[in-house]
Amino acid sequence: MTSAVAPLAVAADKYLRHVSIERGLSDNTVAAYRRDLAAYLTFLDAQQIVTPERIAPADVSAFVQALRMRPDGALTASSVARMLSSVRGFHRFLIDEGLTETDAAIDTKPPKLAMRLPKAISIEQMASVLAATDGDDLAALRDKALLELLYATGARISEAVALNVDDIVEGDEIRLFGKGNKQRIVPLGSYARAAIDAYLVRARPLFSTKGTATPALFLGVRGQRVSRQNAWLIIRAAAARAHLAIEISPHTFRHSFATHLLAGGADVRVVQELLGHSSVATTQIYTLVTADTLRDMYTLAHPRAR
C-alpha cells in the first residue's frame, strides 16, 4: 500500500475497534475480520482505491470473483461467504459513520452453500469417549471434568476454556458467556457436577500452585488457563483411547448435546436457549439430523419399509 495511511485503512481500524469494544465480539472473531479486511483493502489498493466513496458495486463483485480464481487456490464457498460477510459489515459501518452515501456491497450475493448437517456421535460413542478420561491422576481428573462439561452443557470450546471458578452457580448450574458476551445459565447435570467437584477438590489446587493466581476453572500443568488448542489435544487423545473410527472435535460435543436432547424429546426452543443461538432457525438444523436418524431406524426395523 502507499506510504501514507490511507483513509480506508483508518476506517477499517476504527471498524475493528467498534466490533471488539462496542459489539463485544470475541478476539478470534475480530482476528478473522482483520484478516478478511486486510485482503479486501489489498485488493482495492491494487485498483488504486483508497477512499470509501470510490468503491463501486463492481469492485466488490470483482473482489469476490478474485477469491474464486486465486492462483494459489480458490477459496471454498464457505470461506468466500465468510469474507463477504466481513466486507458487508464494513460497508454498513462506512454508511453509519457517514464516510460514504452508498453501500457498494449491498447487492453482492454470497455463493450458495450446500447444507451441511452437524456431525454428532451416538450416545454409546460419547459414553466411550467420556470413559476414556477415567483415572485418578491430576490430568485425568481435569480432562474428565472438561469433557463432561462440554457434553452436559453444549458449550462452545471457547466458552468452556474461558470459564472461571466463580461461573459455577450454586444449584448445579454454570454461567456461560457466548458470542457478543451474551450470558446464559445452563444446567450441569449430575455426571458433570461430580466430575467438576472431583477436579476442584483434588486437582485444581495442585495445578494452581504451579503458576500465578488465576480465576480460570480449567488449568494446565503449569498453572495457566487451558487453551483452545490444549482442549483439542485432550479431546483427540480421549477419542484415540476410546478407539473411535472417526475423528471428533470440540464441536462434536456441542452437536451431540443438541442432537441427543432433541432425540430425547426436548423442545427445539429449549435447546436454542441452552446452545445460546440467537435464531431458532440455527437450532432447527439439528431436527434434520434427528429426522434422518429416525428414518434410518425405520428403514432397518419395519418389515415393509423396503
- What confidence score (pLDDT) does residue 278 get? 77
- Whole-angstrom CA distances from 5 to 2, 10, 63 are 7, 7, 21
Q: 244 with 176, same domain?
A: yes
Mean of pLDDT over the chain? 87
Among 144, 193, 204, 277, the one annotated catalytic? 277
Known catalytic residue: 179? yes
Asked whether residue 266 is assigned to any structural domain, the reply reads no
**Is the predicted pLDDT of residue 202 greater than 50, yes or no?**
yes
pLDDT > 70: what percent of the chain?
A: 88
Give me Rg for the CA atoms of the chain.
Answer: 23
Task: Give me 197's grid cell.
Answer: 467437584
Amino acid code (one letter) for 45: D
Among 179, 225, 228, 241, the one annotated catalytic? 179
Known catalytic residue: 156? yes
CB-CB contact of 30 with 1 (8 Å): no
**Is the predicted pLDDT of residue 299 greater than 80, yes or no?**
no
Asked whether residue 238 is assigned to any structural domain, the reply reads yes
- What confidence score (pLDDT) does residue 113 get? 62
Q: Enter the pTM of the model.
A: 0.63
Average pLDDT over residues 235-241: 95
**Count of domains for the chain:** 2
Domain span at 91: 7-96
Render pLDDT for 133-162 as a digit per residue (tens, 0 to 9).
Answer: 999 999 999 999 999 999 999 999 999 999
Among 15, 40, 151, 286, the one annotated catalytic? 286
Among 91, 142, 144, 254, the one annotated catalytic? 254
Asked whether residue 284 is assigned to any structural domain, the reply reads no
- Rounded Cα distance, 169 and 173, in Å: 5
Render pLDDT for 164-197 as a digit per residue (tens, 0 to 9).
Answer: 999 998 768 999 998 777 889 999 989 999 999 9
Known catalytic residue: 286? yes
